[in-house]
C-alpha cells in the first residue's frame, strides 16, 4: 500500500508510539548513493532527537539485501519498523524479505517503475490494500510505500487494472485451464456459485440446454466455436499455468499471465492472491441472463485487457521520481523541524541525482541526457524558496544574507565566525572551482568537455582562445581561484555571459547553494555531491562507505575533513569499474556524441541509447551500463491530456477547412468535379502531414522522454542466451557479464528494440 505526502508525519508519529526505548526496534537499510546517504543522515537525526534506538546497515545490491534479511530481519524478534532508503522499489518486498506479522516496512524509493505489488497490495503482500480516507494505513504493518505524487496522480489506470484482476482471481480462482478442459462451463458456473455470483443456471434453462448441445456436437463445430471466441491451438499452447509462489529464473520478466512482478535478480515471478469479492458483469438483455460461454468470453477479455495495462506499465522502462532526501525533508516540514542542516542535505541529495543523470521523467521535447526536466526544476524551486525562508536577509547586512548577492563573483567565505547560513550563489559549470585553479576546473568540467571537445588538442586550443578572448592570461588562470585577482573574479561572470553564445555555452552559469561553517570555509552543494560520489566510487568498499557518510557534515563537522582530499593516482580502467563512475562516463560520452551530431548539421538531436562496458580484471567480468533517452509510450495523465489537446486542435482546424471549402463549392457549381478531386487530395495531404507531425513531435504526450529500457533488454538477453550474467545492482540498467560471454551478450542486445 502507499501513503500520500501529507501523511508522512502521521506515519512517523506512529513509529514514535510503537518503538521501544530499550532495544533498537527500527532498522534502516540504505543504498550507496548520494541521495540515499543524505536521506539516511536526515532520518537518523530525527530519530536521535526523539531518542529512538535504531540500527543502520548499508546494502550495495540484492545479495547484500539477502544477507541483511538473514542477519537482521528474519531472526530479529524486536524488529517493528524496517525503513528501506533507495532499496526495494522495483521488487516485491513481501516476497523477497521474511517480514514477520506486525512488522511495518517503509519503502522510500526514487527509482521507477514501482512494483505494483508494493503499492497496491494489502498487509502481507496479499489482496488489495486500501488506504483510509485520511491516508493512514491500518495498524497491522505490511509494506508501505511513500508516494511523491506519481501513484495518486498518474497511476489510476494501473490501480484499477490491478484491483480488477485481484477481484477476478478471487471470483473464479485459477482460470488458466478453461481453454483445455471440456467441462469449462460447469467449472465456471461452480466457481461463480461458490463465490456468490449473481448468475446460476439450472438444467432446465435454455442457456444450459444450449451448452449441452454445444458440448455434444462434433469436434469440427467445437473448433469453429473456439475460433469465434478468440481461442486457437496456438493460444492454448502459449498460456501456461503459473501457480502461486513459483519461481522460474529463466522466465521472461514481462510475460505476465495473472499478476507477475519482477523480484530482483533472476526475474523471479509470483502470482498474487486476492480478497474474496464479487464482480458484476454487464448483461446484454435486462430480461434474461447471458449464457455461460458468453460470460466466460467477456471475463477472459477483461482479464487480457487489465493484464495488458500492467504489462505496458512495466514495459515503458525505468526512470526516476522525486529524490528521497526531498521526501525526508517533507517529513521534517510536516513535523515542524526543518532547519538549515536538513535543508542542506536535501539540496546535496538533489544535486547528486542530477550529477548521475537521474532526472524526474518529463514531457519536454528538448530533454536530453544532461538537461533538467520540468519536475526536477519544480523540486529545485521549492528547495530554493526554503533557503530564502530560513535565511532571510538581515537588515544590518550581517550574516544571514540568504538572497543572491549583487556582485557576480562566487561566494567563498562567511561574513562572521558564527555564520552557519545557506546562501544562493551563482555557480559556474566548472568542477570544484572553489578548490582548484580556474584552468583545471574548466579543463575537467564535463559540460565544457562535451561543448569544446577538450579531449582533443583542437578542443584545448578552443579553451585557450576562450580565455584569451575574455582577457585572462594562462598564468592567472593557473592560480588557485581563492587567490586570483579580485577584479578578474568579479568580472568573470559578465565576460562569460558576453562570449557564451559564440561557443555554445548557454548554460554555463546556473543558480546554486553554498553553506558556511564560520571561518572554517564554505562549500557548494554541487561540490559536496561530487566529493561524496567520488568517495563511494574509489577505495575499499567498507572504508569508502564510512568516509562518504562522514563527509556529509552538519554544524562543526568540517574539522579534519580536508585530510580526505588526497591526490592518489588511479588507473583509468580501474576508475571506471564502479557502476556509478561508469554511468557518469556513459552520460558524458552520450552528450559529447550529441554535440558532434549537432555540429555536423543535425537539426534536432536528443541523444541515442548508449552501452558502455568496462573490464574488471580482478573478477574476470565486464560491467555494462546502458543509458538512453528514447521515445516511449506515456502512461500518465499529463501526457494523455497533452495528446488529447493536440488531437482536438487538429480536428478543429480540419473542420474549419472543410467548412470554407463547402462555402466555396456552393458559389462555384460549375466546377463540382474538380473541387471534389481537390478536396480528396488535400484531405490526404492533411492526414499525411498530421501523421508526420505526430511522429516528429515528441510533445504529443503519448511520447515520454527520459525512460531507460536497457533493464528490460538486459533481462531478455540473459534469458535467451547462454551468457553468464549477474544482475545485482539496484539500478536496472547495470549488469555484469563474464569476459568470455561479452560478444554473445552484445550480439543479442543489438537485436533488441531499445527505442519504442
Q: Is the pLDDT of residue 456 over 60?
A: yes
Structure confidence at residue 293 (pLDDT): 84
Structure confidence at residue 4 (pLDDT): 92
Structure confidence at residue 224 (pLDDT): 46
Bridge-based pairing of strands 81-85 and 104-108 is: parallel
Banded model confidence at residue 137, pLDDT cuts 50, 70, 90:
low
Q: Is the pLDDT of residue 34 over 90?
A: yes
Q: Where is the domain boundary, 460, 490, 506?
A: 506
Q: Dihedral sign, CA of 78, 82, 88, 94? A: positive
Residues 144 and 25 in one domain: yes
Rounded CA-CA distance 2/158 in Å is 14
Can you state the percent helix, strand and coil of the chain, rounding each to 5? 50, 10, 40
Domain membership of residue 223 (yes or no) is yes
Structure confidence at residue 452 (pLDDT): 92
Residues 159 and 172 in one domain: no
Residue recorded with cell 503519448: 702
Q: Specify the CATH number for the domain of residue 712.
A: 3.30.70
47 vs 203, more confident: 47
Q: Where is the domain boundary, 506, 521, 539?
A: 506
Residues 67 and 107 in one domain: yes
Reference 277, options 167, 200, 191, 175; nearest CA is 167
Rounded CA-CA distance 218/478 in Å is 92
Residues 178 and 159 in one domain: no
| Cβ neighbour number for residue 572 with a 10 Å cutoff | 8
Residues 591 and 625 in one domain: yes
Q: Specify the CATH number for the domain of residue 81.
A: 3.40.50
Rounded CA-CA distance 192/185 in Å is 10
Domain membership of residue 52 (yes or no) is yes
Residues 242 and 292 in one domain: yes
Structure confidence at residue 542 (pLDDT): 54
Residues 726 and 655 in one domain: no
Structure confidence at residue 664 (pLDDT): 64
Q: Where is the domain boundary, 126, 148, 166?
A: 166
Rounded CA-CA distance 656/645 in Å is 17
Rounded CA-CA distance 222/658 in Å is 51
Residues 134 and 196 in one domain: no
298 vs 291, more confident: 298
Q: Is the pLDDT of residue 358 over 90?
A: no
Banded model confidence at residue 191, pLDDT cuts 50, 70, 90:
low
Residues 6+ apart with CB under 8 A from 608: 590, 593, 628, 629, 755
Domain membership of residue 233 (yes or no) is yes
Domain that holds residue 692: 637-666+677-699
> How many folded domains does the chain comprise?
5
Name the DSSP class of 32: S
Percent above pLDDT 70 for the chain: 62
- pLDDT (average), residues 613-638: 70
Which pTM value belongs to this model? 0.75
Alpha helices in 19-149 (DSSP H): 34-49, 62-68, 93-96, 116-120
pLDDT one-digit tens code per residue, 461-481: 999 999 999 988 899 899 998
Domain membership of residue 284 (yes or no) is yes
486 vs 661, more confident: 486
* CB 523 within 8 Å of CB 435: no
Q: Is the pLDDT of residue 308 over 70?
A: yes
204 vs 587, more confident: 587
Residues 52 and 97 in one domain: yes
Banded model confidence at residue 376, pLDDT cuts 50, 70, 90:
confident
Residues 82 and 207 in one domain: no
Compute CA distances 265 → 127, 711, 723, 734, whole Å.
Answer: 25, 11, 15, 11
Banded model confidence at residue 154, pLDDT cuts 50, 70, 90:
confident
Domain membership of residue 134 (yes or no) is yes
Mean pLDDT of the chain: 74
- pLDDT (average), residues 33-55: 95
Domain membership of residue 370 (yes or no) is no
Residues 35 and 171 in one domain: no
Banded model confidence at residue 439, pLDDT cuts 50, 70, 90:
very high
Structure confidence at residue 703 (pLDDT): 44
| Cβ neighbour number for residue 662 with a 10 Å cutoff | 11
Structure confidence at residue 413 (pLDDT): 81
Banded model confidence at residue 109, pLDDT cuts 50, 70, 90:
very high
Residues 217 and 250 in one domain: yes
Q: Is the pLDDT of residue 44 over 90?
A: yes
- pLDDT (average), residues 321-348: 95
Domain membership of residue 709 (yes or no) is yes
Structure confidence at residue 168 (pLDDT): 85
Q: Is the pLDDT of residue 561 over 70?
A: no
Structure confidence at residue 645 (pLDDT): 52
Structure confidence at residue 234 (pLDDT): 43
549 vs 308, more confident: 308
Domain membership of residue 304 (yes or no) is yes
Banded model confidence at residue 344, pLDDT cuts 50, 70, 90:
very high
Banded model confidence at residue 56, pLDDT cuts 50, 70, 90:
very high
Amino acid at each position: 500500500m502507499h501513503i500520500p505526502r501529507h501523511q508522512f508525519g502521521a506515519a512517523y508519529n506512529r513509529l514514535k508510539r510503537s518503538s521501544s526505548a530499550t532495544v533498537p526496534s527500527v532498522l534502516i537499510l540504505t543504498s550507496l548513493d548520494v541521495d540515499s546517504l543524505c536521506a539516511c543522515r536526515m532520518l537518523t537525526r530525527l530519530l536521535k532527537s526523539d531518542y529512538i534506538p535504531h540500527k543502520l546497515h548499508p546494502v550495495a545490491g540484492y545479495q547484500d539485501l539477502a544477507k541483511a534479511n538473514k542477519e537482521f530481519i528474519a531472526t530479529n524478534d524486536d524488529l517493528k519498523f524496517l525503513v528501506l532508503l533507495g532499496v526495494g522499489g522495483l521488487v516485491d518486498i513481501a516476497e523477497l524479505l521474511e517480514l514477520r506479522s506486525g512488522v511495518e516496512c517503509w519503502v522510500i524509493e526514487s527509482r521507477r517503475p514501482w512494483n505494483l505489488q508494493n503499492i497496491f497490495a494489502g498487509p502481507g503482500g496479499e489482496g488489495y490494500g486500501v488506504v483510509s480516507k485520511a491516508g493512514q494505513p491500518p495498524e497491522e504493518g505490511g509494506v508501505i510505500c511513500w508516494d511523491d505524487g506519481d501513484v495518486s496522480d498518474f497511476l489510476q489506470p494501473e490501480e484499477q487494472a490491478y484491483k480488477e484482476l485481484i477481484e477476478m482471481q478471487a471470483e473464479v480462482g485459477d482460470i488458466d485451464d478453461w481453454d483445455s478442459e471440456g467441462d469449462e462451463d460447469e467449472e465456471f458456473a461452480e466457481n461463480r456459485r461458490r463465490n456468490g455470483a449473481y448468475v446460476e443456471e439450472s438444467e432446465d434453462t435454455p442457456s444450459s440446454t444450449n451448452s449441452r448441445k454445444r458440448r455434444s456436437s462434433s469436434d469440427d463445430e467445437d473448433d469453429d466455436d473456439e475460433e469465434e471466441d478468440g481461442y486457437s491451438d496456438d493460444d492454448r499452447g502459449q498460456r501456461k499455468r503459473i501457480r502461486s509462489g513459483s519461481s522460474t529464473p529463466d522466465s521472461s520478466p514481462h510475460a505476465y499471465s495473472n499478476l507477475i512482478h519482477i523480484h530482483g535478480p533472476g526475474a523471479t515471478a509470483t502470482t498474487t492472491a486476492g480478497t474474496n469479492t464479487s464482480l458484476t458483469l454487464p448483461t446484454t438483455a435486462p430480461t434474461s441472463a447471458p449464457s455461460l460461454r458468453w460470460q466466460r468470453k467477456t471475463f477472459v477479455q477483461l482479464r487480457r485487457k487489465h493484464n495488458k495495462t500492467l504489462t505496458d506499465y512495466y514495459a515503458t522502462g525505468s526512470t526516476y521520481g522525486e529524490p528521497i532526501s526531498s521526501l525526508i525533508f517533507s517529513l521534517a516540514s510536516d513535523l515542524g523541524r526543518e532547519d538549515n542542516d536538513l535543508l542542506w542535505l536535501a539540496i546535496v541529495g538533489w544535486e547528486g541525482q542530477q550529477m548521475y543523470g537521474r532526472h524526474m521523467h518529463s514531457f519536454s521535447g528538448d530533454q536530453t541526457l544532461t538537461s533538467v526536466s520540468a519536475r526536477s526544476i519544480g523540486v529545485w524551486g521549492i528547495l530554493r524558496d526554503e533557503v530564502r525562508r530560513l535565511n532571510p536577509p538581515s537588515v544590518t547586512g550581517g550574516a544571514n544574507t540568504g538572497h543572491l548577492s549583487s556582485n557576480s563573483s562566487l561566494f567563498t567565505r562567511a561574513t562572521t565566525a558564527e555564520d552557519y547560513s545557506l546562501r544562493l550563489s551563482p555557480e559556474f559549470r566548472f568542477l570544484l572551482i572553489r578548490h582548484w585553479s580556474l584552468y583545471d576546473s574548466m579543463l575537467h568540467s564535463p559540460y565544457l568537455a562535451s561543448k569544446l571537445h577538450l579531449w582533443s588538442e583542437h578542443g584545448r586550443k578552443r579553451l585557450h582562445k576562450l580565455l584569451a578572448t575574455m582577457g585572462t592570461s594562462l598564468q592567472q588562470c593557473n592560480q588557485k581561484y581563492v587567490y586570483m585577482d579580485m577584479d578578474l573574479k568579479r568580472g568573470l561572470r559578465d565576460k562569460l555571459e558576453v562570449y557564451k553564445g559564440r561557443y555554445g555555452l548557454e548554460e554555463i552559469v546556473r543558480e546554486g547553494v553554498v553553506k558556511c561553517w564560520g571561518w572554517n570555509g564554505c562549500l557548494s552543494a554541487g561540490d559536496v555531491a561530487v566529493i561524496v560520489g567520488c568517495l563511494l566510487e574509489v577505495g575499499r568498499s567498507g572504508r569508502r562507505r564510512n568516509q562518504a557518510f562522514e563527509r556529509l557534515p552538519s554544524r562543526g563537522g568540517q574539522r579534519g575533513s580536508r585530510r580526505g582530499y588526497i591526490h592518489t593516482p588511479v588507473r583509468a580502467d580501474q576508475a571506471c569499474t564502479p557502476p556509478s563512475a561508469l554511468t557518469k562516463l556513459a552520460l558524458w560520452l552520450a552528450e559529447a556524441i550529441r554535440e558532434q551530431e549537432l555540429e555536423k548539421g543535425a537539426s534536432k538531436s536528443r541523444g541515442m541509447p548508449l552501452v558502455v562496458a568496462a573490464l574488471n580484471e580482478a573478477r574476470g567480468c565486464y560491467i555494462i551500463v546502458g543509458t538512453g533517452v528514447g521515445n516511449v509510450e506515456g502512461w500518465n495523465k499529463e501526457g494523455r491530456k497533452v495528446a488529447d489537446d493536440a488531437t482536438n486542435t487538429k480536428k478543429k482546424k480540419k473542420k474549419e477547412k472543410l467548412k470554407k471549402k463547402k462555402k466555396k463549392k456552393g458559389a462555384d457549381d460549375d466546377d463540382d468535379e474538380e473541387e471534389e478531386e481537390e478536396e480528396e487530395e488535400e484531405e490526404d495531404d492533411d492526414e499525411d502531414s498530421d501523421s508526420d507531425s505526430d511522429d516528429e513531435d515528441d510533445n504529443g504526450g503519448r511520447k515520454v522522454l527520459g525512460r531507460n529500457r536497457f533493464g528490460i533488454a538486459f533481462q531478455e538477453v540473459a534469458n535467451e542466451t547462454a551468457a553468464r550474467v549477474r544482475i545485482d545492482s539496484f539500478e536496472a540498467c547495470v549488469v555484469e557479464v563474464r569476459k568470455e560471454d561479452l560478444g554473445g551478450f552484445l550480439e543479442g542486445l543489438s537485436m533488441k528494440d531499445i527505442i519504442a
